[in-house]
Amino acid sequence: MAIRLSALQKEFIRNVCKVQLGLRVMEGSTVSTIIPKERVRMAITHVQPDRPPIQIYTTPEIHARLLEYFNGRPLEDVFEIDFRFVGPSVKSKFRITSSSNAASCAKENNGLVLEGRTVEPGKAEVYDEWGVGYSRVRNNAGGVYLEATDLALARLTTMDDVNKYPWPDPNEYDYSIIPEQIEKIKNFAVCVGSAGIPDIINGVGRGRGMEQVLIDIATEDEVGIAIIDRRVDFYYEWCKRCL
């Protein structure tokens, strides 16, 4: 299927390719003997490496065009990315139930069992481990991204709601697979998690609404702060077990 890009997106791809070609020219025929993880270690300890460590993040439509441009080659190889990610698997299936019709509205997503969620049928296509629903929304630039459309955490209005809510549990993940993952990418800088983990405002805002989260913080709302604490506590334990 053809992907239509804006002029700005096309210019971005051209510039990315120019940068990559420029790196090749500067390197000439010399092949670096520094493995990626050593390059990253040098950079963070303020020792000049052969080149800066490289990471790349792309939107879905840019990712698709880059794969097309480079004939399907993995972008990690094309751009000589120095970082790789590992993480636990989930132990069971994630099921969302609707208060109106639990049987017909059950959904399987993301591999977690989180019973007791109350969702509104038709409001979302997929759900995350927090019970937040997402739908594909097209933007003016032609991209289609998952945006939060069923804000489950906004329905928590009392501490009783917070205490009864089926929060995700670090025990629902299998961390034993991580050492094997690391072994396969041991020459790279190995990372776990994402920038979204410590991001309280955006992370909670997807399930509660950005405005409400800012109000919660400003007013020290008991329910809002408790929701933030639940998220922080979960990811603290999740990250600790991953490490």
> Which phi-psi region, left, alpha or beta, contains residue 24 (left: φ > 0; alpha: ψ -120 to 50)?
alpha
Which residue's entry shows tokens 């025929």?
A: 29
Q: How far is CA 170 from CA 132, 176, 185, in A?
A: 18, 13, 25
Residue 61 is predicted with a pLDDT of: 86
Report DSSP state, residue 100. S
Q: What would the mean pLDDT of 196-201 be, rounded to a whole number?
A: 91
Residue 117 is predicted with a pLDDT of: 55
pLDDT over 90 (residue 35) = yes
Distance CA 174, CA 89 (A): 5
What is the per-residue pLDDT across 120-151, written as a single tens digit (0 to 9) for each? 667 888 898 999 999 999 888 778 888 999 99
Distance CA 46, CA 128 (A): 39
What is the per-residue pLDDT across 172-183, written as a single tens digit (0 to 9) for each? 999 999 999 999
Which residue's entry shows tokens 């008991």?
A: 222
pLDDT over 70, % of the chain = 74
Which residue's entry shows tokens 């020459």?
A: 187
